[in-house]
């Protein structure tokens, strides 16, 4: 049996069971005013991320994500919840040309040339991936192997998260 | 995180261990279990050679992604674990899914596993995965994976591949093993060696009959490395330096992971090449994250309406009376949380509250498997029959679900705090 299918319902159930009450609580706490709209987005984003972290326990990235979220909450308690955990990575996104074609061309050239260059490229990409995944630069994911397996679980959970959010919005 | 994992006692998968568990003397139950003598041989060999080994912690013990087996202590009774562990599928984090469907980090702590034999599952699965790769000369790796990973469709060649590891098991004394520990390698390499050993043992268990075949093939493979622990076959003409062998093991593990990722990321079947594959992964992760961001913003805009509707509905007096009868429905605690989120209940608009007879809206299959869908439908119909009229029934259902959701959330938080 596909192990992902085993994980999927439990993740989905946990995710939804966390998120829906959290969202309804947001509405109850906030007084209806325009100024709160911005906060609502951040709060919603926080709850979405927290739901992800809590629904996929046991992975390095989920621990790192939860830790980061809680830290951000403490730091920005009065200024409203923090931005998405990816916010600080926005700058990095532009530094890496993540366009498939140039990379492919580069790769072809490198292959004909030498291995070290290809290895360098791989290293580049792995470094970039570390920035994408929560906790990627931490000590738990120093190994490349660990990083790749964490990536596997992270990608799966992201997919599940997207599906849950989509279906939650589908009927509104 | 590491410490708590280390302290975990053998968990769910250890039901298999319980069958064999003998804390002190390991050989006897092992042999008496009727396993192949080959395995016992390798075990004794391993025991003697690894006697000095200390407690080794798996490289990723803190992370569920790699393997169930997180730690092991110098105790030869581990081997019994292997065949059961082999029932777990795939590599990396997939293996973490236990019976609860939750990633089980290190719950399969091998308190009694000798250092040799840890990480069977990981090694096995990886090996099994490598089987699919056209790396035929790497007998050692591919064979070992077979035993554990057979349920997984990824293991293609079981029978013919189980040669050298078995052979090495059989001729434990004769076959030189790579003594990574003596080289001062890091724990990871040791674990690799141990992994392979374990697999060899289990391979021996289930493939004793192929011993003869092994001998043949074993002699055909490359030079035998003159080391102690990991029986890693060197390819012909390749260096038998323990470092390069360990490096090769590591590289293969990485390729294993890459293959798994390739299956996860859509549209990567034809990609050959690590850098390109990584590119695709990067693109995919970024696109998923952007989607989450977009959906989150959308949800934030919808949310106030959602809450207003709820407030309006929940404030009705009728709800208070209804919520009592909702309890009478006998919703199991496990089902309530899923009930809350049947989309039909979400009062996005007033018209969103259907009457009792409305059909349950079909959810995308990706969100709910059939099981969950049944739960939803069960809850929905029960709610409607209870009240007979949509809005009240649904609201009370929703309210109760919110309560349960809150309870669950608190439990989750509590659990997190306990673990932290």
ipTM comes to: 0.80
pLDDT in tens, B359-417: 444 444 444 445 444 444 444 444 444 443 444 444 444 444 445 545 555 555 566 56
- Give the residue from B75, B83, B82, B69 showing the smallest Cα distance to B22: B75
B64 in reach of chain A (CB within 8 A): yes
pLDDT in tens, B99-123: 444 444 444 444 444 444 433 434 4
Q: Are strands B228-229 and B108-110 parallel, antiparallel or unpaired?
A: unpaired
The reply to whether residue A122 touches residue B275, judged by beta carbons under 8 angstroms, is yes
The reply to whether residue A59 touches residue B369, judged by beta carbons under 8 angstroms, is no
What are the residues whose beta carbons fall under 8 Å from the beta carbon of A120, sequence distance 6 or more? none
Q: How far apart are the first and last CA of chain B?
A: 7
- Calpha distance B103→A66 (Å, rounded): 16
Residue A126's pLDDT band (cuts 50, 70, 90): confident
Query: So what's the pLDDT on residue A19?
Result: 82
- Name beta bridge partners: B57: B71
To the nearest 10°, the Cα dihedral for B155, B160, B161, B162?
A: 110
The structure's pTM equals 0.44
pLDDT in tens, A15-71: 888 887 887 777 666 555 555 555 778 888 888 898 898 888 888 888 988 888 888
To the nearest 10°, the Cα dihedral for B183, A126, A75, A164?
A: -120
Are the beta carbons of B139 and B159 closer than 8 angstroms?
no
The reply to whether residue B66 touches residue A149, judged by beta carbons under 8 angstroms, is yes
B354 in reach of chain A (CB within 8 A): no
- Find chain B residues with C-beta within 8 A of A159's C-beta: 288, 366
Query: So what's the pLDDT on residue B272?
Result: 80
Query: So what's the pLDDT on residue B153?
Result: 41
To the nearest 10°, the Cα dihedral for B91, B97, B102, B107?
A: -90
Most confident stretch, A85-94, B86-95, B247-256 = B247-256
Own/partner pairs for B143-146, CB < 8 Å, 24+ apart? B143/B199, B143/B200, B143/B203, B144/B195, B144/B196, B144/B199, B144/B200, B144/B203, B145/B199, B146/B199, B146/B203, B146/B207
Distance of CA A75 to CAs A122, A131, A151, B420, Å?
A: 36, 21, 28, 20
B275 in reach of chain A (CB within 8 A): yes
Are the beta carbons of B315 and A28 closer than 8 angstroms?
no
Query: So what's the pLDDT on residue B320?
Result: 44
pLDDT exceeds 90 at position B292: yes
A31 in reach of chain B (CB within 8 A): no
Number of residues in chain A:
172
- Give the residue from B60, B297, B413 showing the smallest Cα distance to A42: B297
B182 in reach of chain A (CB within 8 A): no
Query: So what's the pLDDT on residue A57?
Result: 84
Query: So what's the pLDDT on residue A172?
Result: 56
Residue A162's pLDDT band (cuts 50, 70, 90): very high
pLDDT in tens, B334-360: 444 444 444 433 333 344 343 444 444
Structure tokens at B250: 């590591």
Structure tokens at B412: 């989750």
Q: What are phi and psi of B278, to 5 degrees?
A: -60, -40
Residue B418's pLDDT band (cuts 50, 70, 90): low
Q: Which residue of B66, B89, B93 is the best one to mutate when testing the A interface, meaning the one whose CB has the most A CBs within 10 A?
A: B93
Taking one residue from A and the other from B, the number of pairs with CB-CB distance under 8 angstroms is: 294
CB atoms closer than 10 angstroms to residue B390: 18
B289 in reach of chain A (CB within 8 A): yes
Q: What is the CA radius of gyration of chain A?
A: 19
Q: Which residue of A145, A153, A164, A166 is the best one to mutate when testing the B interface, meaning the one whose CB has the most B CBs within 10 A?
A: A145
Outline where DSSP puts E strands in B93-218: 108-110, 177-178
- Give the residue from A34, A41, A24 showing the smallest Cα distance to B404: A24
The reply to whether residue A86 touches residue B280, judged by beta carbons under 8 angstroms, is no
- Mean of pLDDT values over A84-104: 47
Query: So what's the pLDDT on residue B222?
Result: 47
Are the beta carbons of B326 and A3 closer than 8 angstroms?
no
pLDDT exceeds 70 at position A107: no
Are the beta carbons of A107 and A118 closer than 8 angstroms?
yes
Q: Which residue of B263, B307, B364 is the best one to mutate when testing the A interface, meaning the one whose CB has the most A CBs within 10 A?
A: B307
- Find chain A residues with C-beta within 8 A of B367's C-beta: 12, 160, 163-164, 166-167
The reply to whether residue A125 touches residue B275, judged by beta carbons under 8 angstroms, is yes
- Mean of pLDDT values over B168-184: 43
Taking CA–CA distances from B360, the nearest residue in chain A reads A171
Largest Cα–Cα distance of chain A, in whole Å? 63
Nearest chain B CA: its distance from A90 CA (Å) = 11
The reply to whether residue A149 touches residue B265, judged by beta carbons under 8 angstroms, is no
The reply to whether residue A145 touches residue B253, judged by beta carbons under 8 angstroms, is yes
Nearest chain A CA: its distance from B99 CA (Å) = 8
Largest Cα–Cα distance of chain B, in whole Å? 83
At how many degrees (to 10) do helices A36-55 and B390-419 cross? Answer: 70
The reply to whether residue B103 touches residue A44, judged by beta carbons under 8 angstroms, is no
- Find chain B residues with C-beta within 8 A of A160's C-beta: 366-367
Q: DSSP for B191-230?
A: HHHHHHHHHHHHHHHH-GGGHHHHHHHHHHSSPPP--EEB
pLDDT in tens, B217-239: 444 444 444 555 656 666 676 66
Distance of CA B262 to CAs A105, B38, B266, B271, Å?
A: 20, 37, 8, 8
Mean pLDDT, chain A, integer: 74
Query: So what's the pLDDT on residue B293?
Result: 92
The reply to whether residue A153 touches residue B93, judged by beta carbons under 8 angstroms, is yes
The reply to whether residue B293 touches residue A86, judged by beta carbons under 8 angstroms, is yes
To the nearest 10°, the Cα dihedral for B306, B309, B315, B319?
A: -90
What are the residues whose beta carbons fall under 8 Å from the beta carbon of A64, sequence distance 6 or more? A134, A135, A136, A138, A140
Please report the residues numbered 94 through 123 in chain A whose beta carbons come closer than 8 angstroms to any beta carbon of chain B: 96, 98, 100, 103-104, 106-107, 110-111, 118, 121-122
A110-124, B148-162, B256-270: which range is least confident on average? B148-162
């Amino acid at each position: 049996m596909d192990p992902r299918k085993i994980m999927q319902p439990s993740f989905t159930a946990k995710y939804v069971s966390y998120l829906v009450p959290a969202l309804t609580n947001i509405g109850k706490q906030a007084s209806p005013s325009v100024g709160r709209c911005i906060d609502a987005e951040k709060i919603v984003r926080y709850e979405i991320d927290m739901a992800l972290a809590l629904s996929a326990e046991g992975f390095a990235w989920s621990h790192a994500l939860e830790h980061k979220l809680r830290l951000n909450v403490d730091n920005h308690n009065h200024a409203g919840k923090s931005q998405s955990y990816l916010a600080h990575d926005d700058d990095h996104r532009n530094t890496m040309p993540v366009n498939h074609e140039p990379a492919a061309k580069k790769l072809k050239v490198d292959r004909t040339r030498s291995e070290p260059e290809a290895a360098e490229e791989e290293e580049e990409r792995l470094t970039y991936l570390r920035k994408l995944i929560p906790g990627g630069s931490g000590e738990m994911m120093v190994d490349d192997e660990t990083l790749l397996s964490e990536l596997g679980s992270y990608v799966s959970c992201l997919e599940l998260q997207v599906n849950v959010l989509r279906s939650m919005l589908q009927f509104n | 995180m590491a410490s708590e994992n280390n302290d975990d006692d053998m968990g769910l998968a250890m039901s298999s261990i319980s069958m064999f568990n003998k804390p002190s003397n390991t050989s006897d139950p092992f042999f008496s279990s009727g396993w192949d003598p080959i395995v016992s041989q390798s075990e004794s060999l391993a025991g003697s050679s690894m006697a000095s080994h200390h407690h080794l912690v798996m490289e990723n013990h803190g992370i569920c992604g790699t393997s169930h087996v997180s730690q092991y202590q110098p105790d030869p009774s581990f081997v019994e674990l292997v065949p059961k562990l082999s029932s777990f599928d795939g590599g990396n984090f997939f293996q973490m899914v236990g019976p609860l469907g939750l990633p089980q980090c290190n719950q399969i702590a091998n308190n009694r596993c000798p250092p040799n034999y840890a990480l069977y599952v990981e090694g096995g699965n990886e090996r099994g995965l490598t089987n699919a790769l056209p790396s035929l000369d790497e007998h050692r790796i591919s064979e070992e994976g077979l035993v554990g990973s057979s349920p997984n469709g990824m293991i293609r060649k079981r029978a013919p591949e189980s040669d050298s590891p078995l052979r090495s098991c059989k001729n434990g004394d004769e076959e030189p093993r790579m003594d990574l520990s003596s080289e001062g390698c890091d724990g990871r390499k040791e674990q690799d060696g141990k992994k392979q050993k374990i697999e060899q043992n289990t391979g021996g268990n289930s493939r004793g009959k192929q011993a003869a075949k092994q001998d043949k093939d074993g002699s055909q493979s490359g030079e035998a490395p003159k080391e102690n622990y990991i029986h890693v076959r060197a390819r012909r003409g390749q260096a038998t330096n323990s470092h390069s062998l360990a490096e090769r093991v590591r590289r293969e593990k990485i390729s294993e992971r890459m293959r798994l990722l390739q299956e996860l990321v859509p549209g990567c079947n034809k990609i050959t090449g690590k850098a390109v594959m990584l590119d695709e992964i990067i693109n995919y992760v970024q696109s998923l994250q952007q989607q989450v961001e977009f959906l989150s913003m959308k949800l934030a805009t919808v949310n106030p309406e959602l809450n207003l509707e709820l407030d309006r509905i929940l404030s009705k007096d009728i709800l208070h009376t209804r919520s009592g009868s909702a309890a009478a429905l006998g919703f199991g605690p496990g089902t309530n949380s899923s009930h809350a989120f049947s989309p039909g209940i979400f009062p996005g608009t007033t018209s969103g509250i259907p009457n009792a007879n409305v059909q349950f809206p079909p959810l995308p299959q990706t969100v709910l498997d059939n099981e969950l869908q049944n739960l939803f439908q069960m809850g929905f119909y029960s709610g409607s029959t209870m009240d007979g009229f949509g809005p009240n029934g649904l609201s009370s259902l929703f309210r109760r679900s919110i309560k349960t959701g809150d309870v669950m959330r608190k439990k989750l938080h509590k659990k997190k705090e306990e673990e932290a």
